[in-house]
Chains A and B, each alone.
Chain A
């Protein structure tokens, strides 16, 4: 739809909502398989079907949910699991800062709702529209966020049902590290990123036997610091 024509319909809210829902449709191609894999892997890690399903609305963040499934399967202490989720989802603060000026005039209940729906994909699909001036643009973000939420719930349920129909001895647990490889490797595009990965891998391997899974948090901290330091050296040179 041409933005100029969409600007003055009879019910601009519904138009924005519909445009948001349409804008996110292509992203569902990537999101739905992830949801299916999450549902299946959560069960494989020993999480029962009901909490596995509930996690998709309680946490509603793909990578954090994969992480929790993995950590739960390893018998990780609760506080380390929560700290890991907090770390992995830190990037959402950036999205929050980015949309804050557009949402500032809205009533508090709108802010509360849109913050809940502010995932990587909803942000990616909506930010171009939000940056443009005028109109009830928050309805657009509601459209992208809600369609993604619905797609995530349905695909999680499909994964749970799929796992229940597969043979239980299939070593599906290995699909988790493979999923992480598929996410991380394309992110390593700079020397600093490579430093971060190698430092994290080294500390994680050395600390694999440490109590309370503290090796994981130490590896994440050292890896982040290594990448950051590598970046600073480059920008100073």
Chain B
């Protein structure tokens, strides 16, 4: 399947999700377990993407202060927790990452 097919399928799935209850015109209601599950979907999915990028970049474990992704990621996590500001978090994390690489750290240890 080409990337175009992935985008079209992903778009269709998204569209049908948005259309679902609108098309059913209130004949369906949202099950409680489904509603209870939803807040954890973005948390679980996005954390599952973040953790390996920080601790296993390129597949190998890199739990070390010499890993600029881990250090910059930790800075970003603290910034996000304290400031709750998307742009500040990205900017500070990226500056720390670039700074460490500039100082000689390998971008992907």
Interface residues of A (CB under 8 A from B): 30, 33-34, 37, 47, 51, 54-55, 58-61, 63-64, 67-68, 70, 72, 78-79, 81-82, 84-97, 99-101, 103-104, 111-112, 114-116, 118, 171, 174-188, 192-193, 196-197, 199-205, 208-209, 215-216, 219-224, 226-228, 231-232
Cross-chain pairs A/B with CB under 8 angstroms, 24 sampled: A33-B86, A37-B90, A54-B7, A55-B11, A59-B14, A86-B14, A90-B17, A90-B38, A96-B17, A100-B22, A116-B15, A177-B73, A178-B72, A178-B76, A178-B94, A180-B47, A181-B50, A182-B86, A196-B44, A204-B49, A215-B48, A215-B52, A222-B44, A226-B44
Chain B contributes a number of interface residues (CB within 8 A of A) equal to 70
B99 within 8 A of A: no
Most buried by A among B22, B59, B80, B101: B22
Q: Shortest distance in angstroms between A92's beta carbon and chain B's nearest beta carbon?
A: 5
Bound CA–CA A201/B1 (angstroms) = 29
Distance in Å: Cβ of A55 to nearest Cβ of chain B: 5
- The answer to whether the Cβ of B37 comes within 8 Å of any Cβ in the partner chain is yes
Does B49 contact A177, Cβ atoms closer than 8 Å?
yes
Please state if B46 and A97 are interface contacts (CB–CB under 8 Å).
Answer: no
Please indicate which of the listed interface residues B1, B14, B47 has the most CB atoms of chain A within 10 Å of its own CB: B47
Counted as pairs of residues, one from A and one from B, with CB atoms less than 8 Å apart, the total is: 262
Taking beta carbons and an 8 Å cutoff, which residues of B are in contact with A? 1, 3-11, 13-15, 17-26, 28-30, 33-56, 59, 69, 72-73, 76-77, 80-81, 84-87, 89-90, 93-94, 97-98, 101, 107
